[in-house]
Structure 1
């Protein structure tokens, strides 16, 4: 009986982390994604969220959610080189 209580206590401890994503959604989740094109003027005052590509190689998609100088939030998709070396 003690083992069952211990297992229940441990599993209950993980429950809040399962629901954390629902409480703190990714900024810009409901925004339409605009695709960057060469020469496009982008007014970025503050970056709110950016895709983490440090472990990826080659050209990979990035989504950045940012606030412009007027306080409006935008979501932009573009391509960049991943942060990991090709020979790693």
Structure 2
């Protein structure tokens, strides 16, 4: 029974660590980014103003990261 609890707690710990890696990190000026491959970028909202977007990318070691940053929405017209 104790071995079963140990195995379950180990699995829960690994799962929590994997979920923590997928959490979005807010971009700050001057951050060192290791972007080897962009996987996806969420589309900017159709509003006139600054909106948050997220970029999912792989670093040079193959780890997945999500970066949150701001850009102008696509709803502005001239």
Q: TM-score, normalised by structure 1?
A: 0.57
**1:54, distance to aligned residue in structure 2 (A):** 6.2
1:55 equivalenced with 2:23 (yes/no):
no
1:1-88 matches, within 5 Å, as 30=19, 31-53=22-44, 55-87=46-78
Q: CA deviation at 1:81?
A: 1.2
- State the 4+ residue runs in structure 1 displaced beyond 6 angstroms: none
Deviation at 1:84, TM superposition (A): 3.4
Note the C-alpha offset of 1:82.
Answer: 1.7
Higher strand share: 2
The CA RMSD measured in Å over matched residues stands at: 1.7
Higher RCO, Cα 8 Å, sep 6+: 2
1:25 corresponds in structure 2 to none
Deviation at 1:86, TM superposition (A): 4.0
Unaligned segments of structure 2, at least 5 residues: 1-18
Unaligned runs of 5+ in 1: 1-29
TM-score (norm 2): 0.63
Offset of residue 57 of structure 1: 2.2
